[in-house]
Amino acid sequence: MNSERVTHEFPPVFDGNSRVLILGTIPSPKSREFGFYYMHPQNRFWKMLCAVLNEEVPSNIKGRRELCLRHGIALWDVLESCDISGAEDSSIRNAVPNDLRLIIDNCPIRAVFTTGKKAHSLYLRHFPDLMPDICLPSTSPANRTISESAMLEEYRRIAEYL
Residue numbers annotated as active site? 43
User: pLDDT tens digits for 82-98?
Assistant: 999 988 888 889 999 99
Which pLDDT does position 127 carry in this prediction?
95
Query: Residue 104 to residues 2, 22, 77, 94, 129: CA-CA distances in angstroms?
Result: 35, 12, 13, 24, 12
Which pLDDT does position 86 carry in this prediction?
83
- At 147 the three-state DSSP class reads coil
* CA-based radius of gyration for the chain: 15
Phi-psi region of 54 (alpha: psi -120 to 50; beta: other; left: phi over 0): left
Of 1.10.287.40, 3.30.1490.20, 3.20.20.60, 3.40.470.10, the CATH number of 4-161 is: 3.40.470.10
Which pLDDT does position 55 carry in this prediction?
96
Which pLDDT does position 1 carry in this prediction?
64
pLDDT digit of tens for each residue in the chain (162 aa)?
Answer: 688 999 999 999 999 999 999 999 999 999 999 999 999 999 999 999 999 999 999 999 999 999 999 999 999 999 999 999 988 888 889 999 999 999 999 999 999 999 999 999 999 999 999 999 999 999 987 777 889 999 999 999 999 999
Which pLDDT does position 67 carry in this prediction?
98
Q: Provide the residue ranges of all domains of the chain, joining segments of one domain with +.
A: 4-161
The pTM assigned to this predicted structure is 0.95
What whole-number percentage of the chain has pLDDT above 90? Answer: 85
